[in-house]
Amino acid sequence: MLNDGRTSERRHLRADAGSTPTPVTYYPVPLQMRLLENAKAIEGKPYADAFTRDLTVSPDWSKSLQDGPMPFDRTMTPSIADLARFASDPEGYPDSGYALLDGPTAYIQSRVVMPGVTTEMFRWWFTWHPIENERYSLWYPHAHVSNRVEYPGRLADKSLSFEERLFGNVNYVEEFIGATSLPIHIHFSHPRDLGMDEDALDRAGLTTSVSGTLRFGMAPEVTSALMLHLARDTEAGMELFSRYWIGAHPELHRFPGAEGAAALLAKMNLDADGALQLAYDMSVHDMTEYSHLARILPRLFSAFGKRD
């Protein structure tokens, strides 16, 4: 029998705790075809041996996304107050889940500890991978199509800080979320420009951020999402907290261009059911790509990060 008590308990387990990763059992057809193309494109690259089709995820994590939407009172909005509440107690939320919020807004949250990974490696990854599509494909070989960065010279400039290299340096990404390929412009930004309190993040040790607002390529003037990736080093490995709000949430209106999001979503057929399915598909995407990055990053950093 289904045991609801047990299930909701499971939500609080660490994604990496005692759960041996098992193979991903489902890839929509376009992702299967993309894998074959990516496998061909990467031949001859010095990092080609890090490319694999055999992705695995924690069964506890994937199961925690299979109970329907998470309880509404465990979600957070992108309001400045909720962001402050999160920074003051990042562990006070279920590890992973998805939900439908006002807007409609697809909401996704996750937390993962990556043994053997450090925030230094993670920062390096975001300066290294956007330079070639094939590097980007390593991260999620079935779903990642292409990535181009607005100022590659700035991203590569080691005389600058990580923040100076990445923030305000748009990533033009194409990737599959669920079975749909989406062009996404990631406007990486300083957390304070996203409404977060720097001191509070410092107190939580969350000093590495690859967060930003997102715009879809078909409406590059419309801010359609806020994405948080906040990381800290722990004894068990790098701990990453992620949040996505994709949609027309009222609290996103503080970002320029967000007023067009509701009309855009309607045009993309993202009604309530569509946004909820997008939330689940994005949560599976997030689980898959961060589980896999955790596996390949130490080796890539040791082979290519030291020279950078």
Binding site for a copy of itself (CB under 8 A): 1-2, 22-29, 32-33, 35-36, 39, 43, 48-49, 51-53, 57, 59, 62-63, 66-69, 179, 273, 276-277, 280, 284
Question: Please, what's the b/e burial string for 59-81 (b: 16 or more CB within 10 A of its CB; e: otherwise)?
Answer: ebbbbbbebebbeeeebbbbeee
Q: Rounded CA gap, 53 and 117, in Å?
A: 21
Shortest distance in whole angstroms from residue 175 CB to a copy of itself: 17
Task: Quote the CA–CA distance of 67 and 102 in Å, as a whole number.
Answer: 20
Nearer to a copy of itself, 54 or 221 (CB): 54
Residue 303: count other Cβ atoms within 10 Å of its Cβ: 13
With b for 16 or more beta-carbon neighbours within 10 A and e for fewer, the 207-216 pattern comes to: ebbbbbbbbb
Q: How far is the CB of 276 from a copy of itself (least distance, A)?
A: 6
CB of 288 to a copy of itself, least distance (A): 9
User: Ramachandran region of residue 237, left (φ > 0), alpha (ψ -120 to 50) or beta?
Assistant: left
Residue 194 CB, shortest distance to a copy of itself, in Å, is 28
Among residues 222, 201, 308, the alpha carbon closest in space to that of 265 is found at 222
Closest to a copy of itself by CB, 46 or 153? 46
Nearer to a copy of itself, 70 or 231 (CB): 70
Q: What kind and span of H or E run contains 32?
A: helix 29-41
**Of the candidates 34, 51, 75, 17, which has an alpha carbon nearest to the alpha carbon of residue 138?**
51
* Cβ distance to a copy of itself smaller for residue 259 or 273: 273
Nearest CB to a copy of itself, comparing residues 98 and 122: 98
Residue 273: which H helix or E strand, with range? helix 272-300
CB of 81 to a copy of itself, least distance (A): 29
Q: In the bound complex, what is the minimum distance in angstroms from residue 46's beta carbon to a copy of itself? A: 13
Q: For the chain, how are helix, strand and coil distributed in percent, rounded to 5?
A: 40, 25, 35
Toward a copy of itself, which CB reaches closer, 29 or 153?
29
Nearer to a copy of itself among residue 31 and residue 231 (C-beta): 31
Q: Do 138 and 299 contact (CB within 8 A), yes or no?
A: no
Q: Which is nearer to a copy of itself, 173 or 284 (CB)?
A: 284
Residue 121 Cβ vs a copy of itself, minimum distance, rounded to whole Å:
23
Q: How far is the CB of 20 from a copy of itself (least distance, A)?
A: 9
Phi-psi sector, 94: left (phi>0), alpha (psi -120 to 50), beta: beta
